[in-house]
A and B are shown apart, each in its own frame.
Chain A
């Protein structure tokens, strides 16, 4: 019993940082030639590079999950639909990113802490 408890405690302690490390930004989030989202948006601590970028709002899981999968995808594909004055590029409409890359970004954002 004691060994089981100890094992469970160790497993739980390892699970937290492991879960954080599996939420890694896809290449399109970081690459200047692709989304380069990191240039404008900050990520939660321990998720990707730390920056002081604030041209766009900080990205949090709570915010993304509040928006929902469909809305997050729409924003990435064409943010001008919701806000014609936005500075954010229309990654889908202008074919900056392929559909599969946008999908990976959506999943990544929804998995943020």
Chain B
């Protein structure tokens, strides 16, 4: 019985509420716990992530904004490139892609799955018989999302939760709180239990606001949220789910919904 208790406790790290809780109830509970854990951190600063917890990092976010310019320019070129049929990526999205990124990822009720911005880009490419981008490739998908998300800078995250989407949110929540890998970490081990603490020299960000500042620019390349998740999973000693997998899509959906209301800030400088 003791072994079973330990297994249950190890499987779910401080799960916030009963499994049947609504997405809004989960979000409210997590917000309250973050507020309790980090009382001095203004909710308006959550979107800064770890930079909100370190004055030196906060100062560098603006100073290094120029590092994103070449990546964004490269992404714009891809976004406006003419396909063989004369169309372009910009033509697949409302307003040419301006002020749309804040609504992603989206739940497709017909397909019953989460559609990330990267998947929407590839859907457009496929519809026009163009070569698809590797969702984790910085030079193509990273650059494209760096550009189109920059067109939504300052917009408040507004991920919708239509009927049926709560199941994907719940799957994302379960993954976030489930220990996995050789190191026995859950995402929540660091970002809930350890929020505000330092791993090495880097402060650990809380989950709210985490989904707003992607891709990050590291060594001149755009690193998407799912690429970063894969890096984390490797650090955890777990085989990383592929970019675009149902697991990572659900995780991104969960994190993005948590960040609703937070302002998007694409392409901040990061070195982690």
Contact = CB atoms under 8 A, between A and B. Distances in A.
Interface string A69-108: 0000000000011001101011000111000000000000
A40 interface: yes
B10 A84 contact: yes
Interface residues of B, number: 21
Interface in A44-90: 51-55, 80-81, 84-85, 87, 89-90
Interface centre among B13, B14, B183, B193 (most CB of A within 10 A): B183
Contacts of B201: 51-53
Interface string B1-44: 00001100110011000000000000000000000000000000
B193 A87 contact: yes
A52 B204 CA distance: 12
Contact of B14 (A39, A51, A85): A85
Given A84-B6, A85-B9, A55 B198 contact: yes
Interface residues on A, range: 10 to 19
Contacts of B6: 80-81, 84
B185 interface: yes
A75 to B, nearest CB: 14
Given A94-B184, A96-B183, A55 B204 contact: yes
B197 A54 contact: yes
B231 to A, nearest CB: 12
B190 interface: yes
A38 to B, nearest CB: 8
A94 to B, nearest CB: 5
Contacts of B245: none
A85 B184 CA distance: 11
B13 A55 contact: no
Contacts of B189: 87
A80 B10 contact: yes
B195 to A, nearest CB: 10
Nearest to B186: A87
Contacts of A51: 198, 200-201
Given A80-B10, A84-B10, A90 B184 contact: yes
16 contacts: A39-B199, A51-B201, A53-B200, A54-B198, A55-B197, A55-B199, A55-B204, A80-B9, A80-B10, A84-B6, A85-B13, A87-B185, A87-B189, A94-B183, A94-B184, A96-B237
The 6 lowest CB-CB distance pairs between A and B, nearest first, are A84-B9, A89-B183, A55-B197, A87-B189, A39-B200, A55-B194
Interface of B: 5-6, 9-10, 13-14, 182-185, 189-190, 193-194, 197-201, 204, 237
Given A51-B201, A80-B6, A87-B190, 9 more contacts: A38-B200, A52-B198, A53-B198, A53-B201, A55-B199, A80-B10, A87-B185, A89-B185, A94-B183
